[in-house]
Structure 1
Amino acid sequence: MTDLPPLTETTTLRRLVEYAGASGDFYDMHYDLDFAHALGHPDLAVHGLLKAAYLGRLVTRWLDGRGRLAVLEVSYRGMDFRDRPHTCRGRVVSTDGERAELELWGEDDQGRRTTLGRAEIVYESRASTRRADR
């Protein structure tokens, strides 16, 4: 199995605000610290779909133009909080040279897997790349 190089993202308050604006997800636990504390959270929570985007970035950076991300599935198993590193990891679990299936996960700053996922990628063939260049 091939491991993907890890990708670590630390979500700042600014990124939470930017993501909320782009996605329309303005649930208070992502920007109101008093509200987050009232829910029992130590800090502002990172949006689940933002963590999914980080996993997508992990895959597309690893692909580096050699193919495309065809499927991305994500399951949330724990919370992550702002200003703490969230490390995305993955590995190729099967491939036939044209497609590959990847196991993905995101870890909080304690090494707990808070986000699980899988991806399918389709490698670009040389013939289709040549056609696209014409």
Structure 2
Amino acid sequence: MPEQSLLTDEVRALIGSETPAGTVQVTPRGWRHAVEVYTGRVPAETPAPGESVSGYAIAALETENGGTSRIPDLMPNSLLIANQWEFERPLRMGETLTASSRIVDITERFGGRFGYSIDFRTESVYRDAAGAVVARGGITMTQYDAARRPLGRGCWMTVDSSSIREGDELPLLHIQPSLGMVIRFCALQWTFPVFFYDADAARAAGLPGTIVPGPLKVGLLYRAVDEWLGGAGWVRQVRAAHRRPDPTNSPIDIAGRVARVYEEGGKRRADLELAIINQEGQPSVRGFAVVEFH
């Protein structure tokens, strides 16, 4: 633990700071790569221009947007601990969006698995030509000093929205994220943190070995909900809180239940509670999603 807090007035002044707005596009190439990464399938056809596409494509937009706001390196190690995607409407093939990102909050923690750490929460916003918000992406990164730390088989069908009830469970989605999947995800994002593919580097950072990236896991949560919905609706929001790392090549189950069914804005919606369960039966991720039925 440092002798004094690293959360200085200069660091606090970064809260609210924004990166300059730029443009990103939902491209066939980016969409195809995202689908291959998150589902393991090669799409037979590409959606026509203007047609709605799965929210996976936001991962490619995050890459073009440069990822996150400029976060200072205050400590030697960093790890993603939470992230979310939120959509005001489905993304559309070929559309060009204006993207900007900002630092929403900065906090510090004392004790816990990493000892002293600092958390940075950022948000990226994507707007259409009229200035309307289409989607948001948020992440929370924690910075820490590793040297000082305290020692798919699911059966899917299109859901009948009229029969959905609170308490209904989603079918389990069984996945074993491989190192190949992780490397393809890194290529999609064009970012290659060494602890995702180098076991020695991962252990040096205080991790059990190579791990599955957090944004990949939130995309897998999206996949579980999207496949459950089939053509009955679309995913408005998905978010995840990462409780513990998932080692590469270890099997995981994605579970979910319907927490609430309601009407809002003349649309039928449902809130879902989600979880990624590791092979020890422990939740490694707690998630939440909002879906809207057609």
TM-score between the two structures when normalised by the length of structure 2: 0.41
Residues 1-134 of structure 1: pairs in structure 2 closer than 5 A: 1-96=167-262, 98-124=268-294
Larger helix proportion, structure 1 or 2? 1
Compute the displacement of 1:39 (Å). 2.9
CA distance in 1, matches of 2:258, 2:188: 31
Query: Following the alignment from structure 1 to structure 2, what is the Cα–Cα distance between the partners of residues 72 and 26?
Result: 24
Q: TM-score, normalised by structure 1?
A: 0.87
Q: Deviations over 1:65-107 (max 9, x none)?
A: 1000001111111100111011111000111361100001111
How far has the Cα of 1:59 moved from its partner? 0.3
> What is the identity, as a one-letter code, of the residue corresponding to 2:223?
R
Q: What CA RMSD, in Å, does the superposition of the two structures yield over aligned residues? A: 1.2
SS of the residue 2:245 aligns to? coil
Q: For 2:289 and 2:206, locate their aligned partners in 1 and report how far apart those are by CA, in whole Å.
A: 33
> Paired residue for 1:127?
none
Counterpart residue identity of residue 30, structure 1: F
Amino acid at match of 2:224: L
Runs of 4+ aligned structure 1 residues displaced above 6 Å come to: none
Identity among equivalent pairs (%): 30
Alignment-mate amino acid for residue 118 of structure 1: F
Which structure 2 residue ranges, 5 or more long, are not aligned?
A: 1-166
Indicate the structure whose relative CO is greater, using CA pairs within 8 Å and at least 6 residues apart.
1
The 1-side partners of 2:223 and 2:208 are apart by 27
Choose 20-29 or 34-43, whichever is displaced more: 34-43
Report how many residues are paired. 124
Q: How far, CA to CA, are the matches of 1:96 and 1:60 in structure 2?
A: 19
Structure 1 segments unaligned to the other structure (5+ residues)? 125-134
Higher radius of gyration, 1 or 2: 2
Counterpart Cα distance in 2 of 1:13 and 1:81: 10
Change (3 A) 1:110 1:25: farther
Secondary structure of 1:78's match?
coil
Equivalents in 1 of 2:247, 2:199: separation in Å? 11
